[in-house]
Chain A
Amino acid sequence: MEKQVIGTRQFAILVLFFIIGDMLWFLPSFMVEAVEQDAWISALIGVPVGMLAAWFLFHFANQFPNMSLVEINWTVLGKWLGSALTIIYLLSFFTVSVVQIRQVSDFITSQMMTETPLRAINMLMTIIVMIGVWSGLQTFARTGEIFIMLFAFMFLLLIILLMPQIKVDNILPMMRHSFSSFAQGVVYFVSYSFLEMYVFLMIFPYVKRSSHLFRDYMLSALLGGVAIFLIVTTSLLVLGPFLSRFHLFATYILAKKISIGGFLDRLEAILVVNFILSTYFKATLFAYGFVMGITRLLKLKDYRILIVPVGFMIFGYSYIVYPNLVVLNNVTPAWSLWDMTHNPIILLLIYIIHKLRSTNRNRHKSESSEEA
């Protein structure tokens, strides 16, 4: 199996795409449901909290240089317990990847191509994602480099063109919610975008170490956080809390509202490209994590042989993973807790066990050297 290495810039771009991911569409609805017109305050608090989560993940990965999550689990917990924990993580990689694919299909079949069967879009998305995984980390990281400028341009276009429609009254009255509501908003903001970054533990061993890796990584996390904060805030300011809450695809409705002088309108189809791009990268990263995880866990010689079977599995699972978007929406609180279990709860436990063992080992070493 060839060793693929990606550069710092490529890695930072993947982080940015990942954080925005499907949240470009869903976050306003989730957050407004929790804190209504104060969702922007929760999002603002969520940015530093998310940065803290991103810092922890980087610090955690640094404790185990050149190790993926599979090897980390083996090193800290031993072969059996480590493998069992890896399987739990692999199941989550698989599920998140499938849910991303399904969300794109749900969006396209409910908003744009209503006559097209869900299965057709599922199949197309699965093929695209599996081509990305087959091409390898380096190739889809380069794809990210190509698309990032287009993505940034269209994202800024959305925000700038919506500015004339902003109504400040939509976020009034301010600070009318309890601490628990704000906390719930922050949890939604952080869990889907920042906490799910645990998949990068499968990517870190392939990132070229450079002096500014940490700086670029954190900058990327900050930009991603600011981008989703802008989405939540713009949605609130333009659509108001009621529409933001009940439209699951609030950003799409936002894009539909763009109308400049009666000649520049119907830009939503172009902006859908942004949603599909960011969701594609998130789905591909999780699918890559899943395939690489199986390969490393079972010590297989080549990960590419698994592409077709995993493609079949993703396609099948994308249909049965949930019956409709209402179910996905209802699972939101449990999903957030599920994310929190993977990162930081389990990772923190692994970190503590590792630290305790290192301290014990060092103490034994110093004792034995004193005796000698």
Chain B
Amino acid sequence: MLKGLLLFGVFAAAAAAWELPKLMKKRWRKETVVYLLLLITGVIMSSYVVSLVRIASPLYLIETVYRPVIRWVSHMVGR
């Protein structure tokens, strides 16, 4: 996890060093905040890839939400 964070941290730092000065110069404060927030989220997500950490698939959430509907439909059509 730490190795992943470090690797993608370096990539992200390089990207930020390229983009942020331009944004600051233009005084685009909102853009700078959004950029940083998304970059941090991206680095955390990418670090899972490098560290091969598996978390529960977000698709299970879709399945859990719609399971009662599927059951109800199956019951209605007698399948």
Contacts and interface: CB of A to CB of B under 8 A. Distances in A.
A335 B66 CA distance: 9
A338 B65 CA distance: 9
A173 interface: no
Interface size class of A (residues with CB under 8 A): 35 or more
A331 B31 contact: no
A321 interface: yes
Nearest to A118: B49
Given A334-B65, A334-B67, A305 B19 contact: yes
A320 B54 contact: yes
Interface size class of B (residues with CB under 8 A): 35 or more
Interface in B49-79: 49-50, 54-55, 57-60, 62-63, 65-67, 69-70, 77-79
A305 B43 contact: no
B45 A334 contact: no
B56 to A, nearest CB: 9
A323 B49 CA distance: 12
Contacts, number: 113
Given A180-B77, A305-B35, A334-B67, A298 B62 contact: no
A95 B77 contact: no
A294 interface: yes
A305 B42 contact: no
A364 B79 CA distance: 50
Contacts of A181: 79
Interface of A: 95, 119, 122, 178-181, 183, 294, 298-302, 305-306, 308-313, 315-317, 319-323, 327-328, 330-331, 333-335, 337-338
18 contacts: A95-B58, A178-B79, A300-B30, A300-B34, A309-B42, A313-B45, A316-B45, A316-B48, A320-B48, A320-B55, A321-B57, A321-B58, A322-B57, A331-B59, A334-B66, A335-B59, A337-B66, A338-B62
